[in-house]
Copies of this chain bind each other. A is one copy, B any other.
Amino acid sequence: MTKTPDRTLRIGLAGLGNVGAGVYKNLLKNHALLRERTGADLVVTKIAVRDPKRKRDVEVPPAQLTTDWRELVDDPEIDVIVELIGGVDGAFELISAALRAGKAVVTGNKAVLAERGKALIELSERTNAPLYCEAAVAGGIPIIKAVKEALVGNRIESIHGIINGTSNYILTRMTRAGIAFPEALAEAQAKGYAEADPALDVNGWDAGHKAIILAWLSYGRWLRPEEVSVIGIEDISLEDVAFAGELGYEIKLLGVVRQEQATKRIEVRVAPALVPKAHILASVHGVFNAVTVRGDVVGETLFYGSGAGQDATSSAVIGDLADAAQNLANAVGTTGFVPHGEYGEALPLDETVSGYYLRLSVADKPGVLAQIASITGAAGIGILSVIQPEPEQPSEHVPLVLLLHDAKYGDVQHALRAILALAAVQENHTLLRVETLGQS
C-alpha cells in the first residue's frame, strides 16, 4: 500500500467526563503513532461541556470549551463528532443534528442506541453520514468490528456475553470470597467499579442495552426494550452460588442473543445463569467482560477485555475515529458492513429454551421428590440431577436443588406453579437458567 497523504481529522468532543477525558488524553499520548498508522492527524478542536469551570482529569485549552454542542455541529471545520454525554433524549438530538449536518458520529452511548437506534441508523443511511458505536458495547473489546466485519461470512448462531463488569465483579466476589450481594456491591462502589446509583448495572439493563445492539448487528432488527427479558443479580444468594459450584457451574450475568434455526425468530435476554466451569466464560473474573460469538462457519469464538473504564473505552472510540479518518479520506459514507435485511421476529420469552436450576424449600419427609418429579414428568421436562443436602440441624424445611434438561421457559413456569402449589413445597424458591454453550 502507498503511504496515505497527510491530512487532519478535526474532532468535536461532546462530553468531557470520564471517557471523554480518556479520549482527549490518549489521542494526545499516541498522536504520533496514530499519524504513522493512519496517515491522519487526529485532533480535538472543540469540546462541549456542561460546566466549563469544573475541575477535570485533563487540561484542555479553555478557548476550546463551549457549553453548547450546537457549536460543534455548526462548525464547518469539524469532520466528526464524538458523543459522550450519555442519556437518551439529549444524545438523540445531538447525534441526529450531527448526522443531518453530514458529519460522521462516534458514540459510546448504549442507551440511546438501544432505545432509538433504528431511527439513528436510518438517518445515517439517508444522510450518508456514518455512525460508529464500538465503545457502546463491552468497552475496549472490539466486538462490534468483530461481528460486523471479521465474521461477515457467518450466520450468527448465538452470542453469550458477560457485558456488565460491575455485576461480574460482584458475582466473582460472591463466588470466590463468599461475600453476600450487599457487601460485594458496597465493595464494588468503594473501588469505583459501580456508579453511586448502580441500578442499571445490577438490574441488568446496562447489559440489556448492549444485547439489543448485538442483536441488531447479528440479525438486522432493533428489538424494542419491551421485547427483551431482563433480570438482574440482586436476588442471587450465596446459597445458590454454592449449590451451583457443587454442580460444576459458576453463576454469571449473561446477555444472550440467539436465533431459532427453524423459524428464524430472535431471542434477546439478560439474566443470571449457570455456566459450566469447564467453559472459558466461567474463567472471566472481576470487572472483565467477555463475549462468545458462535458463527455457522467459524464455530465458537470469544472476545475478552476491559468492558469499562476511561482508558479501555477510549481505545474503542479512537479505533472508530481512525476508521472515520480513513473513510472520510476515501469519501466512503459507511461504517463497513451491516445487515440490510431483518432476519426474524422476536421470539416470545415463554418459547425460549434452556436448561434450568431450581432451588426449592421442601418439607423434610419422604415422597416429596416423587410428587415434584411427577409434575415435571407430565410436562415432559427431564431432571438431569438432584441435590438434597443433609440439613445441619433438624429442620422442618430443607433445600432441594434440581437441574432440569432443556425446556421451554413457559412450560417450566407452568410446572413451577404446580410444584409451588404442593403442600410440601414452600413459596420461596430460585429459578435460574443453565446455559450449556458449545463444546470447548
Residues of A within 8 A of B (CB): 1-4, 26-27, 29-30, 33-34, 36-38, 124-125, 128, 130, 134, 140-142, 145-146, 148-155, 278, 280, 282-286, 288, 290, 295-306, 309, 311-312, 314-316, 318-319, 321-323, 326, 330-341, 440
Is the Cβ of B305 less than 8 Å from the Cβ of A299? yes
Is the Cβ of B1 less than 8 Å from the Cβ of A319? no
6 further A-B contacts with Cβ under 8 Å, apart from A145-B150, A154-B315, A297-B318, are: A37-B339, A140-B297, A150-B319, A288-B440, A304-B304, A326-B336
* Cα of A286 to Cα of B155 in the assembled complex, Å: 25
In the bound complex, residues from chain B placing their C-beta under 8 Å from that of A26 are 153, 297
Is the Cβ of A311 less than 8 Å from the Cβ of B297? yes
- A302 and B304 in contact, given A30-B154, A322-B149, A330-B330 (Cβ under 8 angstroms): yes
In the bound complex, residues from chain B placing their C-beta under 8 Å from that of A340 are 3, 36-37
Is the Cβ of A315 less than 8 Å from the Cβ of B298? yes
From B288, B295, B336, contact of A315 by CB (8 A):
B295
From B128, B146, B295, B318, contact of A152 by CB (8 A):
B318
In the bound complex, residues from chain B placing their C-beta under 8 Å from that of A339 are 36-37
- A152 and B319 in contact, given A125-B2, A326-B337 (Cβ under 8 angstroms): yes
In the bound complex, residues from chain B placing their C-beta under 8 Å from that of A128 are 1-2
Q: How far is the CB of A328 from chain B (nearest CB, A)?
A: 12
Is the Cβ of A319 less than 8 Å from the Cβ of B149? yes
Is the Cβ of A319 less than 8 Å from the Cβ of B151? yes
In the bound complex, residues from chain B placing their C-beta under 8 Å from that of A305 are 298-302
In the bound complex, residues from chain B placing their C-beta under 8 Å from that of A316 are 150, 298
Complex A-B: 9 CB contacts under 8 Å: A1-B130, A2-B334, A3-B125, A34-B152, A142-B150, A150-B316, A299-B311, A301-B304, A303-B303
Q: How far is the CB of A140 from chain B (nearest CB, A)?
A: 4
Is the Cβ of A152 less than 8 Å from the Cβ of B1? no
Q: How far is the CB of A280 from chain B (nearest CB, A)?
A: 5
Point out which of A149, A150, A285, A318 has the most chain B C-beta atoms below 10 A from its C-beta: A150
Point out which of A29, A146, A309 has the most chain B C-beta atoms below 10 A from its C-beta: A146
Closest to A329 in B: B332
From B151, B283, B311, contact of A298 by CB (8 A):
B311
Q: How far is the CB of A199 from chain B (nearest CB, A)?
A: 26
In the bound complex, residues from chain B placing their C-beta under 8 Å from that of A140 are 297-299, 301
- A151 and B142 in contact, given A37-B337, A128-B1 (Cβ under 8 angstroms): yes
Q: How far is the CB of A36 from chain B (nearest CB, A)?
A: 5
Q: How far is the CB of A177 from chain B (nearest CB, A)?
A: 14
From B155, B295, B309, B334, contact of A1 by CB (8 A):
B334
Is the Cβ of A153 less than 8 Å from the Cβ of B298? no
Is the Cβ of A314 less than 8 Å from the Cβ of B297? yes
Closest to A332 in B: B330
* Cα of A142 to Cα of B298 in the assembled complex, Å: 10
In the bound complex, residues from chain B placing their C-beta under 8 Å from that of A30 are 153-155, 296-297
Closest to A126 in B: B2
Is the Cβ of B4 less than 8 Å from the Cβ of A315? no
Is the Cβ of B299 less than 8 Å from the Cβ of A306? yes
In the bound complex, residues from chain B placing their C-beta under 8 Å from that of A306 are 298-301
Q: How far is the CB of A269 from chain B (nearest CB, A)?
A: 23
* Cα of A241 to Cα of B133 in the assembled complex, Å: 44
In the bound complex, residues from chain B placing their C-beta under 8 Å from that of A286 are 440
Point out which of A151, A284, A285 has the most chain B C-beta atoms below 10 A from its C-beta: A151
In the bound complex, residues from chain B placing their C-beta under 8 Å from that of A152 are 34, 37-38, 318-319, 322
Q: How far is the CB of A149 from chain B (nearest CB, A)?
A: 7
Is the Cβ of A341 less than 8 Å from the Cβ of B36? yes
- A145 and B149 in contact, given A301-B140, A305-B302, A440-B286 (Cβ under 8 angstroms): yes
